[in-house]
Structure formats: structure tokens, C-alpha cells
Structure 1
Amino acid sequence: MALSDLATPGVAIASVARNRIPRIGVIVALLWLALLAVGALVAAAGLTADPLTNDYTVISQAPSLAHPFGTDNLGRDVFSRSLHGAGSSAVVALVTVFVGGGLGILLGVWAGLRRGIADAITGFLTDVTIALPSLIIVATVVTLAGPSLPTISLTIAAFAIPVFARLSRSATLSIAAENYVVAARTLGASGWRILTREVLPSVLPVMMPFLMTTLATAIISEGALSFLGFGLRPPEPSWGGLIAEGRTQLALAPWVTLLPALLLCVTILAINVLGEHLREAKR
């Protein structure tokens, strides 16, 4: 009997263990995001406590069955406000991915296929935009236009466009050299058909890990804006705003800051786990 035969079961067990742990992590991440989405929808439907109603009989009350995350210094339910904040973060993240990602990927694929002057101009504009201090500009735009959810979402999405464009252009350059794309060109397929039917379906799987990263980045950006006072106007709930509101109450009511911050951290972790899984699957 060869030594390799003896080693094979151990290698197989180690391989199964390595594969099982990531799968468990992905399942847990999916369950968490699904649970959070259901909670945000339930809150949006008005099935939780009113996040804006003050109840001075339960000011700074510790977490309990009636108030799972406790109450703040105005008697508002922190759990309900956290779920509504999750909805706001989800809107910002989804708008960033669909608007910023959609436009950026189309622009990058188009530039990668056209090359020449179109590619040079697109590359110059993306380089200039990426070099700008995005958070400062977003804060300025939100201040001038008013801190509404559409303004915050679209402004953050605008700064995602050049990053998606650069990455999708890079992917397009390699995909455009594939035989099936060359064959489509030889057969006289239009540029739009090549873009939508040949190249884009191959670029999207490559971009999926970055799409997940962008979800997390958009949520963090919205939270940072709210924390700095450039997000939704109080008393509208957002995760960053809740964390900022609780800073003055850390000694008396630490749950006002810590529990929304925990939701934010776990959500970002779940999204990153899914993004890493997609990245490994692509490899």
C-alpha cells in the first residue's frame, strides 16, 4: 500500500471541512440578509412601533420584551428605528448598484469595444472622477440639494459609475478577444448586438464580486454621511444617525448606539462573506 493511499482519506476530510465552513458562512449570511429584509419590509408596512413617536413614560429604557433594543432619550423604540434605518440603507445600496453599476458597466463595455477616442475620453473622465474626494462632494451636494433619500442615493451612485466603468472595460478587453465575439463580428453582427448578446453576459459574472462590495460600500457611505450630520434629517431614522444620536447617552443608555452599530457591522460582514464566496467561485 502506497503512502499516498493512506494520506488520501485525510486530504479528503480536510477538503470537506474547508468547503463546509464557507458554505455554512454563506448560508448564515443569506439568512441574516433575508431576515433583515423581512424586518425592514415589516417596519415599512407600519407593523412595528412608530419610529417617530415620543413616549416620555419609557425614556432611556433598557432592552425588554416590549422594546427589544430599548428606547432612546425621547422614548422612541430603537428596534423600530433600526429596522426603518435598514430600509433607508437598503434603498441607497440598491440604487447605487442598479444605477451606478448599470450605467458604469454599460459605459465600460462600450468603451472597451469601441476603443480609440471613445475609450480615451472615457478613461480620462473616469480617472478624474475617481481622483475626486467623493465623500466631501457628496456631503456638499446633499447639503445644497437637501438631505433626501433620492438625493443621497443618486449622488453616491454617481461616484460608483467610474469605478464600474474602469473594471468592466478591463474585463471587456479580454472578453472581446474570445472566438465567439470575433465570430459575431465576422458575421456582421451590429455593435449593439455584440455588446448586449455576446460581451455583456460574460462581463456581468466577472463584476458580481464587486457588486457585492459596492453594496457594503454604499451602506457605509450612507452611514458615514448620517453620522456626520449630512444624511437624513432627524428624526428620520438611519443607522448612522442612530449611532450619532446615542453618543451623548453612552453612559446612561449604551444600547442606543451599540445595537444599531451591531446591526450595521453584521450586515456588512454578511455582504462581504457573500462577495468573497462569489470571488472564490469565479476562480
Structure 2
Amino acid sequence: MNISSEPPVVRESMVRTPPEKRAGRLRLRGARLAGFLLLMLRNPLTAIGSAIVLMLMLVAIFAPWIATHDPLAQDLANALQAPGAAHWFGSDEFGRDVFSRLVYGSRITLYIVALVSVTVGPIGLLLGVVAGYYGGVVDTVLMRITDIFISFPSLVLALAFVAALGPGLEHVVIAITLTAWPPIARLARAETLSLRHADFVSAVKLQGASSLRILLHHIVPLCLPSVIIRITMNMAGIILTAAGLGFLGLGAQPPDPEWGAMISAGRRYMMECWWLVTIPGLAILINSLAFNFLGDGLRDILDPRTE
């Protein structure tokens, strides 16, 4: 048995230490993130939408330090006060500070938007990808179920679910989730139909890859950009649906400060105390537009077909 005494050939890539590789990957990711943010800032509407969404998140996180009053504290002696130095956005019929209730209401709004979004994304993506890839009976059954949900207006369907489950914030999240996944499933299915017969999928099949591996490693990553865009644009609808349910008294229950419920309570004094309806209404409008602007910007960046 001959044992060569020559030293092994050591390539440059073999002597690189793992920390150096990690640092290189981090630099690459940082450069990509910087380029992504630069593209976002080039579009004025996208920049405005991103700034408003970021502001909403900061207000929700730092609400105890931003609010000037306890949002639940009643002061009947100062009820229905107009906006001024004591109450920046006025006070409601119980003397509660509208600005503080608006600030704490952002927490409820962001909670609903975040929880619904992280739930409907995987559900819609999974059902759409499975239906589009396997086709046949699986596709027919899943898409007919999707059609049933899509055939009803989302607010009406959410209202029916909340009426069955009962009022409450958690039930609102469940109801909106059950109405928000069908468009995402439709989109994921359409993306999968355009990919399942692609050459790279056929090549992976010839290599013996399983259907699960093809879906998880090849189909799903290519569907993610479109799904993320759709979820972002759906957030505006989630805000409006949550506000509608709150207006009807089916969302967060009193005395919790929820924007839709604030409008509902203030409509009785709308003619004399305009701020009770106008200010929370503007908050709903501005944040809904912000998510739409953000979604449009993400579409321009992530979807090459918009070029």
C-alpha cells in the first residue's frame, strides 16, 4: 500500500474561517437590504406609506410614554371638551382623553393586522400551492371551497362569523382570518400553475426529488414575493373590516379604545363634537392608505412583471 508523502493541496476557500464566511454573508445581506430600502425611498408614495406604517408601530410600542392621559380614566366634569391644551384631540362623553385613546387604539389595530396577516399568509399559500401543483380533484375541491368564501363580501362574512362566535377581539381575529385567506390562495395557485411545468421543475423531478421537496424548496420561494405583496395590500382591508366590526359593537368591548368603537360612540354627538368621529376616522383612513402605498411599492420592487 503506497502512501503519498506529498502534502494535500489546500485551496483558498478551504482556509477561510467560518466567521469570515458569516461576515461575508452578512455584508451581502446588508447590501441587499440597503438596495431594497433605496428602491423604496425612490417612490414618494411608498416612502410616505412606509413612514406612516413605521410611525404606527412606534406609537403602538411606546403608547404608555406617548399618551398624555390614562385612556380609561373618566372625568365627567370635563366631558366633551374641544381640542385644546388640556386635551389635544378633545375629550369624549365620559371625559376621557381622545388623543390617549387613539394612541392605545393603535395597539389594538396593529394587533389585529399582525395576527391576521401571519395567519392567512401560510394558510392561503399552502392551500394555493397544493391546489395548483397537484391539480385534479384536489384543485377542484380546494378552489370550490375558496369560491364559496369569495362569493360573499368580506365584511358580511366576517359579521356572520362574529355573530356566531360572539363579540370580542379574539373572535374578530378569527372571523377576519376566515375571510382573508381565499384571495391569497387564488394568487398562490395561479403562480404555481405557471411554475409546475417549468423546465427547472422537470429537471428536479428527473433527479428524484419528492413532491414535498419541490414544493418547499422551489415552488413556495417563487410564490412568496407575490403573496407578501398581496398580504401587505390586504392589511388596509383588515383595518377597515376590524373598524366596521368595532363600529357595530362586535370587536373590542368597552371601555377598550378601538377606533371603530370610538366612531360608533361619538356619532351621537357628531354635529356638536366633530372631533369624536373625525379624528379616529382620519386615523383609519390614513393608515389604510399607508398600507396600500406600501403594497404598491413592494409590488414595483418584488414583481419583475411590473417593470
Normalising by the residue count of structure 1, what TM-score does the alignment of the two structures yield? 0.87
Verify: 1:169 aligned to 2:189, yes or no. Answer: yes
Q: CA deviation at 1:275?
A: 1.2
Pairs aligned (count):
265
Q: CA deviation at 1:212?
A: 1.5
- Render the CA deviation track for 1:187-223: whole Å, top value 9, x for unaligned: 1111221111101110011223211121111110001
- Render the CA deviation track for 1:11-50: whole Å, top value 9, x for unaligned: xxxxxxxx99962222222111111211112226896522
Verify: 1:200 aligned to 2:204, yes or no. Answer: no
Does structure 1 conserve the Cα–Cα contact (< 8 Å) formed by 2:168 and 2:250?
no
Q: 1:213 aligns with which of 208, 233, 258?
A: 233
Does structure 1 conserve the Cα–Cα contact (< 8 Å) formed by 2:80 and 2:273?
yes
Q: Give the distance between the partners of 1:88 and 1:181, measured in 2 at CA.
A: 43
Which segments of 5 or more consecutive residues in structure 2 lack a partner in the other structure? 1-38
Which segments of 5 or more consecutive residues in structure 1 lack a partner in the other structure? 1-18
Does structure 1 conserve the Cα–Cα contact (< 8 Å) formed by 2:91 and 2:97?
yes
Q: 2:72 aligns with which of 16, 30, 52?
A: 52
Question: Greater CA deviation, 135-144 or 167-176?
Answer: 135-144
User: Any residues of structure 2 matched to 1:61-76 within 5 Å, and which?
Assistant: 61-76=81-96
Tell me what 1:244 maps to.
264
Tell me what 2:285 maps to.
265
Q: Give the distance between the partners of 2:122 and 2:263, measured in 1 at CA.
A: 31
Q: CA deviation at 1:125?
A: 1.0
Secondary structure in 1 aligned to 2:96? Answer: coil
The structure that has the greater radius of gyration is 2
Look up the equivalent residue of 1:269 and give its one-letter code.
L
Question: Greater CA deviation, 125-134 or 146-155?
Answer: 125-134
Question: Greater CA deviation, 136-145 or 259-268?
Answer: 136-145
Q: 2:170 aligns with which of 128, 131, 150?
A: 150
Matched residues, percent identical? 34
Does structure 1 conserve the Cα–Cα contact (< 8 Å) formed by 2:233 and 2:296?
no
The root-mean-square deviation of aligned C-alpha atoms, in Å, is 2.1
Q: Which runs of 4+ in 1 moved over 3 A?
A: 19-22, 44-48
Q: Give the distance between the partners of 1:189 and 1:164, measured in 2 at CA.
A: 27
Tell me what 2:160 maps to.
140
Secondary structure in 1 aligned to 2:236? Answer: helix
Tell me what 2:24 maps to.
none
Q: Give the distance between the partners of 1:59 and 1:119, measured in 2 at CA.
A: 58
Q: Give the distance between the partners of 1:115 and 1:83, measured in 2 at CA.
A: 48
- Render the CA deviation track for 1:148-196: whole Å, top value 9, x for unaligned: 2111011111112222111110111112232222221121111221111
Verify: 1:127 aligned to 2:157, yes or no. Answer: no
Secondary structure in 2 aligned to 1:57? Answer: helix
Tell me what 1:31 maps to.
51
Secondary structure in 1 aligned to 2:70? Answer: coil
Go from structure 1 to structure 2 and tell me whether the alpha carbon gap of 1:275 and 1:46 turns closer, same or farther (over 3 Å shift): closer
Look up the equivalent residue of 1:234 and give its one-letter code.
P
Question: Greater CA deviation, 257-266 or 39-48?
Answer: 39-48
Does structure 2 conserve the Cα–Cα contact (< 8 Å) formed by 1:44 and 1:87?
no
